[in-house]
Structure 1
Amino acid sequence: MREISLDRLRTLVVIADLGSFAEAARQLNLAPPTISLHVAELEARVGAALLTRTRGQVRPTALGETLLARARRLLADADLALDEVRRQVEGLTGRVRLGASTGAIAHLLPQALQVLRVEHPGIDVQVQVLTSQASLARLRDGSLDIGLVALPQVAGKGVRITPWRRDPIMAYVPSDWRPPARVSPAWLAQRALILNDSGTQLSRVTSEWFAAAGLYPQARIELNFNDAIKSLVAAGYGATLLPQEGEAVELDPRVARRPLRPGLWRQLGIACREGEVELGVGYVLEALERLRQ
Protein backbone atom coordinates (compact mmCIF):
# COMPACT_ATOMS: atom_id res chain seq x y z
CA MET A 1 0.00 0.00 0.00
CA ARG A 2 1.41 3.40 -0.99
CA GLU A 3 2.23 5.92 1.75
CA ILE A 4 0.65 9.36 1.75
CA SER A 5 3.05 11.94 0.32
CA LEU A 6 3.88 15.04 2.36
CA ASP A 7 3.62 17.05 -0.86
CA ARG A 8 0.00 15.94 -1.26
CA LEU A 9 -0.74 16.84 2.36
CA ARG A 10 0.87 20.25 1.92
CA THR A 11 -1.34 20.85 -1.13
CA LEU A 12 -4.43 19.96 0.90
CA VAL A 13 -3.44 22.33 3.72
CA VAL A 14 -2.78 25.25 1.37
CA ILE A 15 -6.09 24.74 -0.43
CA ALA A 16 -7.94 24.68 2.89
CA ASP A 17 -6.13 27.81 4.11
CA LEU A 18 -6.75 29.80 0.91
CA GLY A 19 -10.15 28.34 0.04
CA SER A 20 -9.18 28.06 -3.62
CA PHE A 21 -7.53 25.58 -5.94
CA ALA A 22 -6.29 28.39 -8.17
CA GLU A 23 -4.75 30.37 -5.31
CA ALA A 24 -3.10 27.22 -3.96
CA ALA A 25 -1.61 26.51 -7.39
CA ARG A 26 -0.12 30.02 -7.52
CA GLN A 27 1.31 29.83 -3.98
CA LEU A 28 2.81 26.37 -4.50
CA ASN A 29 3.99 27.25 -8.02
CA LEU A 30 2.20 24.23 -9.46
CA ALA A 31 -0.08 23.87 -12.46
CA PRO A 32 -3.84 23.75 -11.56
CA PRO A 33 -4.19 20.20 -12.96
CA THR A 34 -1.39 19.08 -10.61
CA ILE A 35 -3.24 20.57 -7.62
CA SER A 36 -6.41 18.73 -8.63
CA LEU A 37 -4.44 15.51 -9.11
CA HIS A 38 -2.95 15.78 -5.60
CA VAL A 39 -6.40 16.07 -4.06
CA ALA A 40 -7.78 13.26 -6.21
CA GLU A 41 -4.95 10.97 -5.13
CA LEU A 42 -5.59 11.74 -1.46
CA GLU A 43 -9.31 11.15 -1.81
CA ALA A 44 -8.68 7.89 -3.64
CA ARG A 45 -6.26 6.88 -0.89
CA VAL A 46 -8.76 7.48 1.94
CA GLY A 47 -11.84 6.49 -0.09
CA ALA A 48 -13.90 9.61 0.63
CA ALA A 49 -14.20 13.28 -0.26
CA LEU A 50 -11.89 15.65 1.60
CA LEU A 51 -13.07 18.98 0.14
CA THR A 52 -16.39 20.47 -0.92
CA ARG A 53 -16.79 23.14 -3.61
CA THR A 54 -19.76 25.49 -3.25
CA ARG A 55 -20.25 28.97 -4.78
CA GLY A 56 -16.59 29.18 -5.69
CA GLN A 57 -15.48 28.46 -2.12
CA VAL A 58 -13.54 25.32 -1.22
CA ARG A 59 -14.05 23.93 2.29
CA PRO A 60 -12.88 20.74 4.00
CA THR A 61 -15.37 18.00 4.80
CA ALA A 62 -15.55 16.59 8.33
CA LEU A 63 -13.17 13.83 7.21
CA GLY A 64 -11.00 16.46 5.57
CA GLU A 65 -10.79 18.41 8.86
CA THR A 66 -9.53 15.25 10.63
CA LEU A 67 -6.85 14.69 8.02
CA LEU A 68 -5.91 18.39 7.97
CA ALA A 69 -5.24 18.41 11.72
CA ARG A 70 -2.87 15.48 11.35
CA ALA A 71 -1.35 16.91 8.17
CA ARG A 72 -0.45 20.20 9.86
CA ARG A 73 1.37 18.35 12.65
CA LEU A 74 3.20 16.10 10.19
CA LEU A 75 4.30 19.03 8.05
CA ALA A 76 5.42 21.00 11.10
CA ASP A 77 7.44 18.00 12.33
CA ALA A 78 9.00 17.55 8.89
CA ASP A 79 9.95 21.24 8.73
CA LEU A 80 11.42 21.05 12.24
CA ALA A 81 13.43 17.94 11.35
CA LEU A 82 14.83 19.61 8.24
CA ASP A 83 15.69 22.74 10.23
CA GLU A 84 17.50 20.69 12.87
CA VAL A 85 19.49 18.86 10.20
CA ARG A 86 20.31 22.16 8.45
CA ARG A 87 21.55 23.67 11.73
CA GLN A 88 23.71 20.59 12.30
CA VAL A 89 25.12 20.75 8.76
CA GLU A 90 25.96 24.41 9.37
CA GLY A 91 27.69 23.53 12.65
CA LEU A 92 25.23 25.50 14.80
CA THR A 93 24.10 22.38 16.65
CA GLY A 94 25.15 18.76 16.71
CA ARG A 95 25.84 15.69 18.79
CA VAL A 96 29.37 14.29 19.03
CA ARG A 97 29.99 10.91 20.68
CA LEU A 98 33.40 10.70 22.39
CA GLY A 99 35.03 7.79 24.21
CA ALA A 100 37.94 8.07 26.65
CA SER A 101 39.41 6.65 29.84
CA THR A 102 38.31 7.95 33.23
CA GLY A 103 41.65 9.73 33.67
CA ALA A 104 41.36 11.62 30.39
CA ILE A 105 37.74 12.47 31.13
CA ALA A 106 38.56 13.81 34.59
CA HIS A 107 41.76 15.73 33.86
CA LEU A 108 42.00 16.56 30.16
CA LEU A 109 38.55 16.67 28.60
CA PRO A 110 37.07 19.42 30.85
CA GLN A 111 39.40 22.01 29.30
CA ALA A 112 38.19 21.16 25.80
CA LEU A 113 34.55 21.11 26.92
CA GLN A 114 34.93 24.57 28.44
CA VAL A 115 36.22 25.92 25.12
CA LEU A 116 33.32 24.32 23.27
CA ARG A 117 30.75 25.72 25.71
CA VAL A 118 31.97 29.24 24.94
CA GLU A 119 32.69 28.98 21.21
CA HIS A 120 30.15 26.37 20.07
CA PRO A 121 27.38 26.13 22.70
CA GLY A 122 25.10 24.17 20.36
CA ILE A 123 27.46 21.19 20.20
CA ASP A 124 26.44 18.40 22.60
CA VAL A 125 29.39 16.14 23.45
CA GLN A 126 28.23 12.78 24.76
CA VAL A 127 31.10 11.28 26.74
CA GLN A 128 31.47 7.55 27.31
CA VAL A 129 33.99 5.77 29.56
CA LEU A 130 35.69 3.32 27.20
CA THR A 131 38.98 1.50 26.88
CA SER A 132 41.08 2.25 23.83
CA GLN A 133 40.10 -1.04 22.19
CA ALA A 134 36.40 -0.41 22.81
CA SER A 135 36.67 3.12 21.37
CA LEU A 136 38.31 1.82 18.20
CA ALA A 137 35.70 -0.92 17.81
CA ARG A 138 32.88 1.62 18.12
CA LEU A 139 34.54 3.96 15.66
CA ARG A 140 34.67 1.14 13.14
CA ASP A 141 31.00 0.22 13.60
CA GLY A 142 29.90 3.87 13.45
CA SER A 143 28.59 4.24 17.03
CA LEU A 144 31.37 6.64 18.11
CA ASP A 145 32.79 9.80 16.51
CA ILE A 146 36.04 10.42 18.45
CA GLY A 147 38.17 8.24 20.71
CA LEU A 148 41.05 9.27 22.98
CA VAL A 149 43.23 6.15 22.85
CA ALA A 150 46.49 5.02 24.41
CA LEU A 151 49.24 4.43 21.86
CA PRO A 152 50.37 2.34 20.12
CA GLN A 153 47.18 0.98 18.55
CA VAL A 154 46.22 -0.59 15.24
CA ALA A 155 43.61 1.75 13.80
CA GLY A 156 41.90 -0.72 11.49
CA LYS A 157 40.04 -0.04 8.27
CA GLY A 158 38.30 3.32 8.04
CA VAL A 159 39.87 4.79 11.18
CA ARG A 160 42.80 7.16 11.54
CA ILE A 161 44.81 7.87 14.69
CA THR A 162 46.78 11.10 15.24
CA PRO A 163 49.38 11.33 18.04
CA TRP A 164 48.12 13.84 20.62
CA ARG A 165 49.81 13.92 24.02
CA ARG A 166 52.85 12.49 25.78
CA ASP A 167 52.41 12.59 29.56
CA PRO A 168 54.92 11.33 32.13
CA ILE A 169 53.97 8.28 34.16
CA MET A 170 54.60 8.89 37.84
CA ALA A 171 54.73 6.82 41.01
CA TYR A 172 51.98 7.64 43.51
CA VAL A 173 53.05 6.35 46.90
CA PRO A 174 51.73 6.69 50.47
CA SER A 175 53.69 9.59 51.98
CA ASP A 176 54.60 7.67 55.13
CA TRP A 177 56.50 5.14 53.00
CA ARG A 178 59.11 7.90 52.51
CA PRO A 179 59.78 7.23 48.82
CA PRO A 180 63.08 8.29 47.22
CA ALA A 181 63.31 11.35 44.95
CA ARG A 182 63.09 9.03 41.91
CA VAL A 183 61.39 5.67 42.15
CA SER A 184 63.03 2.64 40.54
CA PRO A 185 61.42 -0.67 39.53
CA ALA A 186 63.41 -2.46 42.24
CA TRP A 187 62.16 -0.16 45.00
CA LEU A 188 58.52 -0.26 43.85
CA ALA A 189 58.38 -4.01 43.21
CA GLN A 190 58.98 -4.65 46.93
CA ARG A 191 55.79 -2.77 47.86
CA ALA A 192 52.09 -3.53 47.60
CA LEU A 193 50.85 -2.37 44.21
CA ILE A 194 47.54 -1.05 42.87
CA LEU A 195 47.68 -1.21 39.07
CA ASN A 196 45.44 -0.75 36.05
CA ASP A 197 43.59 -3.71 34.63
CA SER A 198 45.83 -6.06 32.67
CA GLY A 199 43.87 -5.45 29.47
CA THR A 200 44.83 -1.77 29.26
CA GLN A 201 47.72 -0.18 27.40
CA LEU A 202 48.91 1.45 30.65
CA SER A 203 49.20 -1.99 32.24
CA ARG A 204 51.29 -3.25 29.32
CA VAL A 205 53.61 -0.22 29.49
CA THR A 206 54.20 -0.53 33.22
CA SER A 207 54.69 -4.31 32.99
CA GLU A 208 57.40 -3.71 30.37
CA TRP A 209 59.02 -1.13 32.68
CA PHE A 210 59.30 -3.72 35.46
CA ALA A 211 60.28 -6.50 33.06
CA ALA A 212 63.20 -4.45 31.70
CA ALA A 213 64.64 -4.69 35.22
CA GLY A 214 63.89 -8.43 35.39
CA LEU A 215 60.95 -7.93 37.76
CA TYR A 216 57.40 -9.28 37.48
CA PRO A 217 55.45 -8.05 40.53
CA GLN A 218 51.81 -8.96 41.10
CA ALA A 219 49.25 -6.26 41.82
CA ARG A 220 47.37 -6.36 45.09
CA ILE A 221 44.32 -5.12 43.17
CA GLU A 222 43.62 -4.01 39.59
CA LEU A 223 41.34 -1.05 38.84
CA ASN A 224 40.62 1.24 35.89
CA PHE A 225 39.33 4.24 37.85
CA ASN A 226 42.38 6.42 38.51
CA ASP A 227 40.82 8.62 41.19
CA ALA A 228 39.74 5.52 43.11
CA ILE A 229 43.30 4.19 42.83
CA LYS A 230 44.67 7.44 44.29
CA SER A 231 42.18 7.21 47.15
CA LEU A 232 43.48 3.74 47.96
CA VAL A 233 47.05 5.06 47.83
CA ALA A 234 46.07 7.81 50.29
CA ALA A 235 44.66 5.13 52.59
CA GLY A 236 48.03 3.36 52.54
CA TYR A 237 46.69 0.33 50.68
CA GLY A 238 49.47 0.36 48.08
CA ALA A 239 51.44 2.35 45.49
CA THR A 240 50.60 2.84 41.84
CA LEU A 241 51.88 4.06 38.48
CA LEU A 242 49.69 6.60 36.70
CA PRO A 243 50.15 9.28 34.06
CA GLN A 244 50.32 12.88 35.22
CA GLU A 245 47.50 14.19 33.06
CA GLY A 246 47.25 17.89 32.39
CA GLU A 247 48.64 20.43 34.80
CA ALA A 248 50.06 19.18 38.07
CA VAL A 249 47.37 19.47 40.76
CA GLU A 250 47.72 19.54 44.50
CA LEU A 251 47.59 16.02 45.90
CA ASP A 252 46.18 14.66 49.11
CA PRO A 253 49.04 15.18 51.61
CA ARG A 254 48.92 11.46 52.31
CA VAL A 255 50.10 10.81 48.72
CA ALA A 256 53.61 11.46 47.41
CA ARG A 257 54.13 11.76 43.65
CA ARG A 258 57.56 10.88 42.32
CA PRO A 259 59.15 10.65 38.83
CA LEU A 260 60.47 7.28 37.72
CA ARG A 261 64.01 6.10 37.07
CA PRO A 262 64.20 5.21 34.23
CA GLY A 263 61.52 7.58 32.98
CA LEU A 264 58.25 6.28 31.53
CA TRP A 265 55.65 7.95 29.35
CA ARG A 266 52.01 7.40 28.39
CA GLN A 267 51.18 8.43 24.84
CA LEU A 268 47.66 9.30 23.74
CA GLY A 269 46.21 9.65 20.28
CA ILE A 270 42.98 11.02 18.84
CA ALA A 271 41.09 8.46 16.76
CA CYS A 272 38.29 9.30 14.34
CA ARG A 273 36.86 7.93 11.12
CA GLU A 274 38.68 8.66 7.88
CA GLY A 275 37.24 11.08 5.36
CA GLU A 276 35.41 14.36 5.75
CA VAL A 277 34.00 14.94 9.23
CA GLU A 278 30.86 16.85 10.24
CA LEU A 279 31.39 20.40 11.45
CA GLY A 280 30.48 19.49 15.04
CA VAL A 281 33.09 16.73 15.12
CA GLY A 282 35.59 19.17 13.61
CA TYR A 283 34.94 21.69 16.37
CA VAL A 284 35.60 19.05 19.05
CA LEU A 285 38.80 17.98 17.30
CA GLU A 286 39.95 21.63 17.21
CA ALA A 287 39.28 22.02 20.94
CA LEU A 288 41.23 18.85 21.70
CA GLU A 289 44.07 20.00 19.47
CA ARG A 290 44.64 22.94 21.80
CA LEU A 291 45.63 20.45 24.50
CA ARG A 292 48.32 18.86 22.32
CA GLN A 293 51.78 18.36 23.79
Structure 2
Amino acid sequence: MKTISEQQNFVLTLSCQDKPGIVAAVTSELAALGANISDSNQFWDRVSNTFFMRIAFSVPTAVTEAMVRRALKSPIERFSMKLELIDVGRKPRIIIMVSKFDHALLHLLYQIRVGWLNAEVAAIVSNHEDCRPTSEREGAPFHYLPVNSDTKAQQEEKLLTLMSDAQSDLIVLARYMQVLSTELSSRLFGRIINIHHSFLPSFKGAKPYHQAFERGVKQIGATAHYVTPDLDEGPIIEQQVERVHHAMGPEDLVATGRDIESRVLAKAVKLHLETRVMLNGLKTVVFP
Protein backbone atom coordinates (compact mmCIF):
# COMPACT_ATOMS: atom_id res chain seq x y z
CA MET A 1 0.00 0.00 0.00
CA LYS A 2 1.26 3.46 -0.90
CA THR A 3 1.80 5.95 1.89
CA ILE A 4 0.21 9.40 1.91
CA SER A 5 3.52 10.95 0.83
CA GLU A 6 3.48 8.77 -2.30
CA GLN A 7 0.07 10.03 -3.36
CA GLN A 8 -1.29 13.20 -4.96
CA ASN A 9 -4.60 14.60 -3.79
CA PHE A 10 -7.21 16.25 -5.97
CA VAL A 11 -10.75 17.53 -5.69
CA LEU A 12 -13.05 17.67 -8.68
CA THR A 13 -16.38 19.40 -8.86
CA LEU A 14 -18.82 19.10 -11.72
CA SER A 15 -22.27 20.17 -12.78
CA CYS A 16 -24.41 19.20 -15.74
CA GLN A 17 -27.96 18.30 -16.70
CA ASP A 18 -29.00 15.22 -14.76
CA LYS A 19 -28.87 11.94 -16.68
CA PRO A 20 -28.26 8.30 -15.75
CA GLY A 21 -24.65 7.18 -15.63
CA ILE A 22 -22.84 10.37 -14.58
CA VAL A 23 -21.30 9.01 -11.39
CA ALA A 24 -20.32 5.72 -13.03
CA ALA A 25 -18.71 7.48 -15.99
CA VAL A 26 -16.51 9.66 -13.77
CA THR A 27 -15.60 7.11 -11.11
CA SER A 28 -14.76 4.40 -13.63
CA GLU A 29 -12.22 6.72 -15.29
CA LEU A 30 -10.72 7.52 -11.90
CA ALA A 31 -10.58 3.84 -10.97
CA ALA A 32 -8.68 3.11 -14.17
CA LEU A 33 -6.01 5.57 -12.97
CA GLY A 34 -5.72 3.78 -9.63
CA ALA A 35 -7.52 6.56 -7.79
CA ASN A 36 -8.80 6.15 -4.25
CA ILE A 37 -11.93 8.20 -3.52
CA SER A 38 -11.90 9.60 0.03
CA ASP A 39 -15.03 11.76 -0.10
CA SER A 40 -17.99 12.03 -2.46
CA ASN A 41 -21.11 14.20 -2.40
CA GLN A 42 -23.90 14.61 -4.93
CA PHE A 43 -26.99 16.78 -5.25
CA TRP A 44 -29.78 16.84 -7.83
CA ASP A 45 -31.59 20.16 -8.17
CA ARG A 46 -34.98 18.99 -9.39
CA VAL A 47 -36.13 22.50 -10.31
CA SER A 48 -33.38 23.07 -12.88
CA ASN A 49 -32.62 19.35 -13.40
CA THR A 50 -28.98 20.10 -12.64
CA PHE A 51 -26.67 17.51 -11.09
CA PHE A 52 -23.81 18.62 -8.83
CA MET A 53 -20.98 16.44 -7.56
CA ARG A 54 -17.79 16.87 -5.53
CA ILE A 55 -15.20 14.09 -5.27
CA ALA A 56 -11.96 14.14 -3.27
CA PHE A 57 -9.50 11.48 -4.38
CA SER A 58 -5.84 10.49 -4.39
CA VAL A 59 -3.74 8.97 -7.16
CA PRO A 60 -0.19 7.58 -7.28
CA THR A 61 2.47 10.25 -7.86
CA ALA A 62 3.14 8.76 -11.29
CA VAL A 63 -0.33 9.96 -12.34
CA THR A 64 -0.07 13.61 -13.38
CA GLU A 65 -2.80 16.24 -13.38
CA ALA A 66 -2.68 16.22 -17.17
CA MET A 67 -3.36 12.47 -17.16
CA VAL A 68 -6.38 12.97 -14.91
CA ARG A 69 -7.74 15.68 -17.19
CA ARG A 70 -7.29 13.49 -20.26
CA ALA A 71 -9.10 10.63 -18.58
CA LEU A 72 -12.04 12.86 -17.70
CA LYS A 73 -12.35 14.32 -21.19
CA SER A 74 -14.72 11.57 -22.33
CA PRO A 75 -17.37 12.01 -19.58
CA ILE A 76 -17.05 15.80 -19.83
CA GLU A 77 -17.94 15.69 -23.53
CA ARG A 78 -20.56 12.97 -23.11
CA PHE A 79 -22.52 14.83 -20.44
CA SER A 80 -21.56 18.44 -21.36
CA MET A 81 -20.12 18.86 -17.89
CA LYS A 82 -18.73 21.97 -16.30
CA LEU A 83 -15.83 20.44 -14.40
CA GLU A 84 -13.05 21.86 -12.23
CA LEU A 85 -10.04 19.94 -10.96
CA ILE A 86 -8.08 21.28 -8.00
CA ASP A 87 -4.64 20.13 -6.87
CA VAL A 88 -4.95 19.98 -3.09
CA GLY A 89 -1.17 20.17 -2.73
CA ARG A 90 -1.20 23.80 -3.87
CA LYS A 91 -2.00 26.20 -1.02
CA PRO A 92 -4.62 28.79 -2.12
CA ARG A 93 -3.56 32.44 -2.06
CA ILE A 94 -5.99 35.11 -0.89
CA ILE A 95 -6.16 38.90 -0.82
CA ILE A 96 -7.93 40.32 2.23
CA MET A 97 -9.50 43.76 1.86
CA VAL A 98 -10.38 45.78 4.95
CA SER A 99 -11.23 49.36 5.93
CA LYS A 100 -11.04 50.43 9.58
CA PHE A 101 -12.89 47.64 11.42
CA ASP A 102 -10.31 44.86 11.79
CA HIS A 103 -12.11 42.13 13.77
CA ALA A 104 -12.88 39.94 10.75
CA LEU A 105 -9.34 40.40 9.41
CA LEU A 106 -7.79 39.40 12.75
CA HIS A 107 -9.95 36.29 12.97
CA LEU A 108 -8.97 35.20 9.44
CA LEU A 109 -5.29 35.72 10.21
CA TYR A 110 -5.59 33.69 13.41
CA GLN A 111 -7.37 30.79 11.72
CA ILE A 112 -4.67 30.73 9.03
CA ARG A 113 -1.92 30.82 11.66
CA VAL A 114 -3.34 27.82 13.55
CA GLY A 115 -3.98 25.88 10.36
CA TRP A 116 -7.78 25.75 10.41
CA LEU A 117 -7.75 27.77 7.20
CA ASN A 118 -5.38 26.35 4.61
CA ALA A 119 -4.41 29.54 2.82
CA GLU A 120 -1.60 31.98 2.25
CA VAL A 121 -2.23 35.72 2.53
CA ALA A 122 -0.91 37.15 -0.72
CA ALA A 123 -1.72 40.72 0.38
CA ILE A 124 -3.79 42.86 2.71
CA VAL A 125 -5.39 45.79 0.89
CA SER A 126 -7.03 48.78 2.53
CA ASN A 127 -8.33 52.22 1.72
CA HIS A 128 -7.01 53.30 5.12
CA GLU A 129 -3.64 52.98 6.87
CA ASP A 130 -5.06 51.61 10.14
CA CYS A 131 -4.27 47.95 9.47
CA ARG A 132 -0.71 48.41 8.24
CA PRO A 133 0.81 47.48 11.66
CA THR A 134 -1.25 44.29 11.75
CA SER A 135 -0.10 43.39 8.26
CA GLU A 136 3.54 44.00 9.17
CA ARG A 137 3.26 41.83 12.31
CA GLU A 138 1.88 38.99 10.21
CA GLY A 139 4.51 39.41 7.52
CA ALA A 140 1.86 39.99 4.85
CA PRO A 141 2.38 42.63 2.14
CA PHE A 142 0.23 45.70 2.82
CA HIS A 143 -1.14 47.81 -0.02
CA TYR A 144 -2.71 51.17 0.71
CA LEU A 145 -5.17 51.87 -2.10
CA PRO A 146 -7.24 54.95 -1.24
CA VAL A 147 -10.39 55.41 -3.29
CA ASN A 148 -13.08 57.96 -4.04
CA SER A 149 -15.65 58.33 -6.80
CA ASP A 150 -13.09 59.95 -9.11
CA THR A 151 -10.37 57.33 -8.60
CA LYS A 152 -12.42 54.10 -8.25
CA ALA A 153 -11.62 52.84 -11.76
CA GLN A 154 -7.87 53.38 -11.34
CA GLN A 155 -7.90 51.86 -7.85
CA GLU A 156 -9.67 48.73 -9.08
CA GLU A 157 -7.23 48.38 -11.98
CA LYS A 158 -4.41 48.39 -9.42
CA LEU A 159 -6.29 45.71 -7.49
CA LEU A 160 -6.62 43.53 -10.60
CA THR A 161 -2.92 43.95 -11.34
CA LEU A 162 -2.09 43.01 -7.76
CA MET A 163 -4.34 39.95 -7.95
CA SER A 164 -2.58 38.81 -11.12
CA ASP A 165 0.94 39.51 -9.85
CA ALA A 166 0.27 37.81 -6.52
CA GLN A 167 -1.41 34.84 -8.24
CA SER A 168 -4.33 35.21 -5.88
CA ASP A 169 -7.28 32.83 -6.09
CA LEU A 170 -9.76 34.77 -3.98
CA ILE A 171 -10.53 38.26 -2.66
CA VAL A 172 -12.07 38.40 0.81
CA LEU A 173 -13.88 41.58 1.84
CA ALA A 174 -13.37 41.58 5.62
CA ARG A 175 -15.54 44.61 6.38
CA TYR A 176 -14.21 46.55 3.39
CA MET A 177 -16.62 49.47 3.45
CA GLN A 178 -16.57 50.36 -0.24
CA VAL A 179 -18.95 49.24 -2.98
CA LEU A 180 -17.13 47.53 -5.82
CA SER A 181 -17.91 48.58 -9.37
CA THR A 182 -20.25 46.63 -11.62
CA GLU A 183 -17.32 45.88 -13.92
CA LEU A 184 -15.12 44.40 -11.19
CA SER A 185 -17.97 42.48 -9.55
CA SER A 186 -18.93 40.91 -12.88
CA ARG A 187 -15.37 40.13 -13.92
CA LEU A 188 -14.53 38.35 -10.66
CA PHE A 189 -17.91 36.72 -10.01
CA GLY A 190 -17.41 33.71 -7.75
CA ARG A 191 -13.96 34.93 -6.67
CA ILE A 192 -14.95 37.67 -4.18
CA ILE A 193 -16.56 36.86 -0.83
CA ASN A 194 -18.13 39.60 1.29
CA ILE A 195 -19.34 39.60 4.87
CA HIS A 196 -22.53 41.59 5.37
CA HIS A 197 -23.34 42.45 8.96
CA SER A 198 -26.96 41.40 8.65
CA PHE A 199 -29.01 38.27 8.09
CA LEU A 200 -29.77 38.89 4.42
CA PRO A 201 -32.12 39.51 2.69
CA SER A 202 -33.15 41.75 5.60
CA PHE A 203 -31.48 45.08 6.40
CA LYS A 204 -29.31 45.66 3.37
CA GLY A 205 -26.96 48.58 2.85
CA ALA A 206 -25.56 50.84 5.54
CA LYS A 207 -26.02 50.49 9.32
CA PRO A 208 -28.02 47.23 9.31
CA TYR A 209 -27.75 46.82 13.09
CA HIS A 210 -29.38 50.20 13.56
CA GLN A 211 -32.10 49.15 11.14
CA ALA A 212 -32.55 45.94 13.12
CA PHE A 213 -32.78 47.92 16.38
CA GLU A 214 -35.52 50.12 14.94
CA ARG A 215 -37.52 47.00 14.02
CA GLY A 216 -37.05 45.41 17.44
CA VAL A 217 -35.64 42.15 16.12
CA LYS A 218 -35.07 39.19 18.44
CA GLN A 219 -32.18 37.76 16.44
CA ILE A 220 -29.34 39.39 14.55
CA GLY A 221 -26.98 37.69 12.20
CA ALA A 222 -24.34 37.91 9.52
CA THR A 223 -24.22 36.68 5.93
CA ALA A 224 -21.23 35.72 3.81
CA HIS A 225 -21.97 35.82 0.10
CA TYR A 226 -20.35 36.14 -3.30
CA VAL A 227 -20.21 39.68 -4.61
CA THR A 228 -22.35 40.62 -7.60
CA PRO A 229 -23.15 43.98 -9.22
CA ASP A 230 -26.38 44.05 -7.17
CA LEU A 231 -25.48 45.29 -3.68
CA ASP A 232 -25.85 42.57 -1.03
CA GLU A 233 -27.73 40.31 -3.46
CA GLY A 234 -25.03 37.73 -4.25
CA PRO A 235 -25.38 33.95 -3.73
CA ILE A 236 -25.26 33.16 -0.02
CA ILE A 237 -22.56 30.82 1.30
CA GLU A 238 -22.98 30.90 5.10
CA GLN A 239 -25.20 32.55 7.72
CA GLN A 240 -25.43 32.52 11.50
CA VAL A 241 -27.59 34.31 14.10
CA GLU A 242 -27.44 35.32 17.76
CA ARG A 243 -30.37 36.02 20.05
CA VAL A 244 -30.79 39.59 21.32
CA HIS A 245 -33.35 41.28 23.55
CA HIS A 246 -35.28 44.51 23.99
CA ALA A 247 -32.84 46.08 26.48
CA MET A 248 -29.97 46.06 24.01
CA GLY A 249 -29.19 49.26 22.13
CA PRO A 250 -27.72 49.65 18.65
CA GLU A 251 -24.14 49.58 19.94
CA ASP A 252 -24.85 46.36 21.86
CA LEU A 253 -26.07 44.80 18.62
CA VAL A 254 -22.93 46.01 16.84
CA ALA A 255 -20.72 44.45 19.53
CA THR A 256 -22.59 41.15 19.37
CA GLY A 257 -22.39 41.24 15.60
CA ARG A 258 -18.61 41.51 15.45
CA ASP A 259 -18.19 37.96 16.71
CA ILE A 260 -20.81 36.55 14.33
CA GLU A 261 -19.30 38.37 11.35
CA SER A 262 -15.83 36.99 12.07
CA ARG A 263 -17.03 33.40 12.43
CA VAL A 264 -19.32 33.45 9.40
CA LEU A 265 -16.72 34.97 7.09
CA ALA A 266 -14.03 32.49 8.14
CA LYS A 267 -16.41 29.55 7.63
CA ALA A 268 -17.41 30.79 4.18
CA VAL A 269 -13.78 31.24 3.14
CA LYS A 270 -12.97 27.73 4.39
CA LEU A 271 -15.87 26.23 2.43
CA HIS A 272 -14.80 28.06 -0.72
CA LEU A 273 -11.12 27.15 -0.42
CA GLU A 274 -12.04 23.49 0.08
CA THR A 275 -14.17 23.71 -3.11
CA ARG A 276 -17.31 22.79 -1.19
CA VAL A 277 -19.34 25.65 -2.70
CA MET A 278 -20.88 25.42 -6.15
CA LEU A 279 -22.85 28.18 -7.81
CA ASN A 280 -26.43 27.34 -8.76
CA GLY A 281 -27.87 30.44 -10.36
CA LEU A 282 -28.71 32.91 -7.59
CA LYS A 283 -28.07 30.23 -4.97
CA THR A 284 -25.24 27.95 -3.89
CA VAL A 285 -24.85 24.25 -3.29
CA VAL A 286 -22.67 23.83 -0.18
CA PHE A 287 -21.37 20.32 0.42
CA PRO A 288 -20.43 19.28 3.98
Structure with greater contact order relative to length (CA < 8 Å, sep ≥ 6): 1
TM-score class normalised by the smaller sequence: under 0.3
Query: Which of the pair is proportionally richer in helix?
Result: 1
Q: TM-score, normalised by structure 1?
A: 0.25
Query: Which of the pair is proportionally richer in strand?
Result: 2
Q: TM-score, normalised by structure 2?
A: 0.25
Instruction: Answer with 1 or 2: which has the greater Rg.
Output: 1
